[in-house]
Amino acid sequence: MIRGIQALALFMTLQCFSLLNTSLAGDDIHLWNTLTLSHSINENWRLHFGTDQKFVDDISKHGIRTVFTGTSYKAANNLFFGFEIRHHEKKSGGQWLEENRFAPFMIWKNTFDSLSLTFRERTELRTREGNENWVSRNLLKLAVVSGTASPYVSNELFYDLTAATFTENRLSIGLDLAVFKNLNTSLYYLYKSNEKDRGWSVTNVFGTSLTLHP
């Protein structure tokens, strides 16, 4: 168990240096902030509401805002199913362009000694100005479970099912903190790659996430 923790800590340290070195070639810097309220209806069902606020252009402009709500069902000790709706707005040319997203999702999570492994699959229907496309998002997260602070590394891959192509990848390292009994927060660095006509563009993201769950 100790060797596993040491190996993960070494891997995450190397990832950190690798990401910071690579980030020097990034095209932009973002700041992302997420606030979520999660409420348990009973032992199986849970509701959540929240908002994302993203600052772009080297953190100089408020460029993206999102509100979302959803529900999840605990099918087994380590298996969850749910559905989420998001209203997404992106500022372009001085105007906010709207997009709605509808996403069923599945989460599998298990713990091995002091290591936690999470897999999440989301399939989003994105609609905007009469156009729509389907996007599959696969997230894999590995964390060290150690009291109130859990360091982690994760990767999320985006595949556009309509265009049949990979469009985005998000590699991140971070720290999940259980601040109080009903309050969790997360601090992270995320290396975001987006497919463009002439290759892949890179965005360096620094983010925070705050979750209240009374």
> What tens digit of pLDDT does each residue of 135-165 get?
999 999 999 998 899 999 999 999 999 999 9
Taking alpha carbons only, the member of 155, 160, 144 closest to residue 190 is 155
Q: What does residue 48 show for φ and ψ, rounded to 5 degrees?
A: -145, 150
pLDDT at 9 over 50: no
| Beta-carbon contacts of residue 10 (< 8 Å; ≥ 6 apart) | none
What average pLDDT does the segment 196-208 reach? 91
Instruction: Determine contact, residues 34/65, Cβ cutoff 8 Å.
Output: no
Hey, where are the domains in the chain?
2-21+76-84+94-182+199-212
What average pLDDT does the segment 40-46 reach? 96
Strands 28-40 and 199-212: parallel
CB-neighbour burial class of residue 195 (10 A; exposed 0-12, middle 13-18, buried 19+): middle
Instruction: Determine contact, residues 46/36, Cβ cutoff 8 Å.
Output: no
Token digits of residue 191: 């290396």
This prediction's pTM: 0.86
Token digits of residue 187: 């601090």
